A and B are shown apart, each in its own frame.
Chain A
Amino acid sequence: MVNRSEIMNKVAQIFRDVFDDKELVVNDNTCANDIDDWDSIEHINLVLAIEKEFSIKFDMNEIARLKSVGEIVRAIELKLQ
Chain B
Amino acid sequence: MKVLEYPFDNLYILRNKKSIKKELLQRGGFIKKRIAILSGSTIGDIKNILELFLLNHGIKPEFYVGQFNRFYEEAVFENVELERFNPEIIYIHTSNRNISVFPDVGDDVNACNNKLMQVYRYFENVWKSIQEKHKCIIIQNNFELLPYRVLGNADIYLDYGMNYFIQKLNEKFYEYARTNSNFFINDINYLSSWVGLEKWSDASYWHLYKYSLNMEYIPILCHNIANIIKSILGKNKKALILDLDNTLWGGVIGDDGVENIRLGYESPEGSAFLEFQKYIKKLGDIGVLLNICSKNEPEAAEAGFSHPSSVLNKSDFICFKANWDEKYVNVSEIVKELNIMSDSVIFIDDNPVERDSVRRFIPSIAVPELRNPENYINILDKSGYFEVTTLSEDDIKRAKNYKDNQARELFKTQFSDYSEYLQSLNMKCTVSGFQSKLIPRITQLINKTNQFNLTTKRYTQSEVEELLQDNSYITLCADLQDKFGDNGIVTAIIGKINGEILAIELWVMSCRVFKRNLEYAMFDEIVGICQKRNIRKLIGLYRPSGKNSLVKDFYKNLGFLLSYESDNECKWEYSVPKHYQNKNKVIEVFYGE
Contact = CB atoms under 8 A, between A and B. Distances in A.
B16 interface: yes
Interface string B193-215: 00000000000100111010001
Interface residues of A, number: 16
A42 B18 CA distance: 11
B22 interface: yes
Interface residues of B, number: 17
Interface in A41-65: 41, 44-45, 48-49, 52, 59-60, 63-64
Contacts of A45: 14-15, 45, 215
Contact of B19 (A17, A41, A49): A17
Interface string B103-119: 00000000000000000
Given A41-B44, A60-B204, A48 B14 contact: yes
Contact of A60 (B19, B48, B207, B216): B207
Contacts of A18: 15, 18
B329 interface: no
Interface string B211-224: 10001100000000
B11 interface: yes
A38 interface: no
Interface string B1-36: 000000000010011101100100000000000000
A40 B43 CA distance: 12
Given A41-B45, A48-B215, A48-B216, A20 B204 contact: no
Contact of B215 (A17, A19, A44, A64): A44
Given A48-B11, A63-B208, A20 B18 contact: yes
Interface in B26-78: 44-45, 48
Nearest to B214: A48
A19 B21 CA distance: 12
Interface of chain B, main secondary structure: helix
A14 B19 CA distance: 13
Interface string A8-26: 0000001001111000000
Nearest to B48: A41
Given A63-B208, A64-B208, 18 more contacts: A14-B15, A17-B15, A17-B16, A18-B18, A19-B18, A20-B16, A20-B18, A41-B45, A44-B44, A44-B211, A44-B215, A45-B14, A45-B45, A48-B11, A48-B14, A49-B15, A52-B216, A60-B204
28 contacts: A14-B15, A17-B15, A17-B19, A18-B15, A18-B18, A20-B16, A20-B22, A40-B44, A41-B45, A41-B48, A44-B44, A44-B45, A44-B208, A44-B209, A44-B211, A45-B14, A45-B15, A45-B215, A48-B14, A48-B215, A48-B216, A49-B11, A49-B15, A52-B216, A59-B204, A60-B207, A60-B208, A63-B208
3 closest cross-chain pairs (CB), A and B: A20-B18, A41-B44, A20-B19
